[in-house]
């Protein structure tokens, strides 16, 4: 068998391993921030009908521009957004990849405030965009002044902001987004994958889209909608940004089945988003309980919680796994991340934590 490195692979990919959290067969899986609740039966039926209606026409390519789906997404987002301000792809990862293909690339740079979503630097790598890891403060916070100073120092072509931030969970203060927008010479991408879980009063960057043609807000149906397996992410931005990503997207990138399933899911959004409040309750319960037990815990506006376990987070991760609970070691010394799911999953996690 040929070893990968015997192939004429790009030098910058040589020796790397593929991204991905362990997919282990464990009773309680709380490591990838999925929505723990299965799709409700009426929604299963509606998606089934929508898919079945497409099957006879699978000999034809789908709507390349996914116009009907984008109109539904614009309507869901509100803020007066229209179809020409929304674009969709197979997950927000693909959306961000398309953005880097259009606005990053060889000779250009993207900057993110770490620790943040670990796919951002990998998408930069894959698109040949230079990656600049800027820092958050020791408590994982980010102030407007700190953010502006780092953007001013590096003048990147693309800035990634993540709000609520993964893995820390905390949403950004709107003053940070405003300050970065005023300073950044290029595009500013605000990754709002977890926006629906934010605590009351959290402001979405969607509110500042008018008048900011270099701002892009990315969202996903993977988390709040519980549609991770359906693979549907989207962006909202100025129509010129949508025109730009259309230059790099693959033709027919969104299958007819994906478009139909996502539209059916959106039509039943009340049933799907009905789990959000229950998940937020478990999130707040995890934060409160771990703090009561003396752990340091980051404030969370997402469906997960970052908590301190002492110096050896790898050993703590293993102890929890041995107790049947899979959480995420995000590589932050001393910290682990747990997804908030059902009350029973929280019970299992909190009792496994007694083992530490």
Ligand X SMILES: Cc1ncc(COP(=O)(O)O)c(C=O)c1O
Contact footprint for ligand X (CB under 6 A): 33, 91-93, 117, 162, 166, 191, 193, 220, 222, 228, 233
State the Cα–Cα distance between residues 215 and 195, nearest whole angstrom: 16
Decide whether 50 or 193 has the Cβ nearer to ligand X. Answer: 193
Query: For tokens 């996914």, what's the residue?
Result: 66
Q: Least distance to ligand X from the beta carbon of 297, Å?
A: 18
Decide whether 282 or 303 has the Cβ nearer to ligand X. Answer: 303
Query: For tokens 């609520």, what's the residue?
Result: 164
Query: For tokens 């007819």, what's the residue?
Result: 256
Q: Least distance to ligand X from the beta carbon of 115, Å?
A: 11
Decide whether 156 or 233 has the Cβ nearer to ligand X. Answer: 233
**Closest chain position to ligand X (CB):** 91
State the Cα–Cα distance between residues 162 and 101, nearest whole angstrom: 19
State the Cα–Cα distance between residues 162 and 184, nearest whole angstrom: 16
Cα 28 versus chain centre, distance: 21
Q: Least distance to ligand X from the beta carbon of 252, Å?
A: 19
Q: Least distance to ligand X from the beta carbon of 208, Å?
A: 19
3-state class of 130 per DSSP? strand
How would you classify the pairing of strands 86-89 and 233-237? antiparallel
Structure tokens at 65: 């521009």
Asked whether the beta carbons of 352 and 325 are under 8 A apart, the reply is yes
Decide whether 236 or 323 has the Cβ nearer to ligand X. Answer: 236
Decide whether 193 or 352 has the Cβ nearer to ligand X. Answer: 193
Q: Least distance to ligand X from the beta carbon of 338, Å?
A: 14
């Amino acid at each position: 068998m040929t070893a990968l490195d015997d192939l004429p692979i790009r030098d910058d990919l040589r020796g790397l391993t593929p991204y991905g959290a362990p997919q282990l067969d464990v009773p309680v899986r709380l490591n990838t921030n999925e929505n723990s609740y299965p799709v409700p039966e009426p929604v299963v039926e509606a998606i089934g009908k929508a898919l079945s209606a497409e099957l006879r026409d699978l000999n034809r390519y789908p709507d390349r521009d996914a116009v009907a789906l984008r109109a539904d997404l614009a309507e869901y987002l509100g803020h007066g957004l229209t179809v020409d301000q929304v674009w969709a792809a197979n997950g927000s990862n693909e959306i961000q990849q398309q953005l880097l293909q259009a606005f990053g690339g060889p000779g250009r740079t993207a900057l993110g405030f770490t620790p943040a979503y670990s796919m951002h630097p990998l998408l930069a790598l894959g698109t040949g965009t230079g990656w600049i890891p800027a820092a958050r403060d020791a408590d994982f916070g980010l102030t407007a002044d700190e953010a502006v100073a780092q953007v001013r120092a590096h003048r990147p072509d693309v800035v990634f902001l993540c709000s609520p931030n993964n893995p820390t969970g905390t949403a950004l203060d709107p003053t940070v987004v405003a300050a970065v927008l005023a300073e950044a010479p290029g595009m500013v991408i605000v990754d709002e994958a977890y926006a629906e879980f934010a605590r009351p009063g959290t402001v979405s960057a969607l509110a500042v889209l008018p008048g900011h043609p270099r701002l892009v807000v990315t969202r996903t149906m993977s988390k709040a909608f519980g549609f991770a397996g359906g693979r549907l992410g989207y962006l909202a931005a100025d129509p010129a940004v949508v025109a730009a990503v259309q230059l790099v997207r693959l033709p027919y990138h969104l299958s007819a089945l994906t478009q139909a399933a996502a539209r059916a899911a959106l039509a039943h959004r009340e049933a799907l988003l009905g789990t959000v409040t229950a998940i937020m309750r478990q999130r707040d319960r995890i934060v409160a309980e771990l703090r009561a037990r003396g752990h340091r815990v980051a404030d969370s506006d997402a469906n997960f919680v970052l908590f301190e376990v002492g110096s050896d987070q790898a050993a703590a991760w293993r102890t929890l796994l041995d107790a049947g609970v899979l959480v995420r070691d995000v590589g932050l010394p001393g910290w682990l991340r747990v997804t908030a799911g059902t009350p029973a999953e929280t019970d299992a996690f909190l009792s496994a934590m007694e083992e530490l």
